[in-house]
């Protein structure tokens, strides 16, 4: 149930994002989803990729500050109110979220979540029959 997310530290200067995507592309690593969190001076690029371990290594070898963080990916029906329902479950159970981002493939909407309590989050979502995506499935999308 745990998904490995790749995080990359980026200074706010032009061309850095291009470089990351180029390095990954050259290694045949596919980017499935990503989000950029930014401040006035730096940003953090968070990525779900087809091969997180290898992506981490190549970026590290290219002098990027990278790490792998465990996150959860939840599949929501692609319809109004679905996300609200899922988030309500989490807040009812006092699970806070550091950040989240979403991507959709066909009819399904996927939400990547970084909760403060990872195990607890998975347990609660499973108890409420929310569909969590397996890492092996996700990396092949």
Partner 1 sequence: MIWNERIECATRDEMRIIQSERLSETVKRIYHSVPYYRKKMQDAGLTPNDIEDIDDLRKLPFTTKIDLRDNYPFGLFTVPMSEIVRLHASSGTTGKPTVVGYTRKDIQMWAEVVTRSLCMAGVHRNDIVQIAYGYGLFTGGLGLHYGTENLGASVIPISGGNTTKQIQLMEDFGSSVLCCTPSYALNIAEVIKEMKVDISKLKLRVGIFGAEPWSEAMRKEIESKLKIKAIDIYGLSEIVGPGVSCECEEQCGMHINEDHFLPEVIDPETLEPVAPGEIGELVFSTITKEGLPLLRYRTRDLTRLHYEECACGRTLVRMEKCKGRSDDMLIIRGVNVFPSQIETVLLNMSEVEPHYLIIIDREGTLDTMSLMVEVQEQFFSDEIRKLQELRIKITKQLESVLGISVNVKLVEPKTIERTAGKAKRVIDNRSI
Q: Which is nearer to partner 1, 9 or 105 (CB)?
A: 9
What minimum distance in Å lies between the beta carbon of 56 and partner 1? 10
Smallest separation, CB 103 to partner 1 (Å): 17
By beta-carbon proximity to partner 1, the closer residue of 26 and 41 is: 41
Among residues 65 and 126, whose Cβ is nearest to partner 1?
65
Can you state the angle between helices 16-26 and 52-61, rounded to 10 degrees? 120
Task: Kindly list the residues in this chain that would bind partner 1 in the complex (CB under 8 A).
Answer: 5, 7, 9-11, 16, 37, 39, 41-42, 44, 46, 60, 63-67, 69, 98-99, 114
Choose between 36 and 84: whose C-beta lies nearer to partner 1: 36
User: In angstroms, what is the minimal distance from the CB of 116 to partner 1?
Assistant: 10
Nearest distance from C-beta of residue 93 to partner 1, angstroms: 21
Decide if 139 contacts 51 (C-beta within 8 A).
Answer: yes
Rounded Cα distance, 110 and 137, in Å: 12
């Amino acid at each position: 149930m745990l998904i490995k997310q790749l995080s990359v530290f980026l200074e706010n200067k032009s061309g850095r994002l291009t470089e990351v995507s180029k390095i990954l592309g050259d290694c045949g690593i596919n980017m499935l989803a990503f989000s950029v969190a930014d401040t006035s001076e730096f940003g953090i690029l968070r990525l779900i990729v087809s091969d997180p371990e290898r992506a981490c290594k190549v970026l590290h070898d290219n002098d990027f500050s990278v790490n792998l963080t465990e996150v959860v990916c939840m599949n929501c029906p692609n319809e109004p109110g679905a996300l609200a329902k899922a988030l309500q479950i989490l807040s009812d159970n006092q699970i806070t979220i550091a950040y989240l981002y979403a991507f959709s493939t066909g009819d399904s909407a996927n939400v990547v979540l970084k909760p403060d309590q990872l195990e607890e989050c998975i347990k609660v979502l499973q108890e409420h029959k929310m569909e969590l995506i397996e890492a092996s499935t996700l990396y092949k999308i």
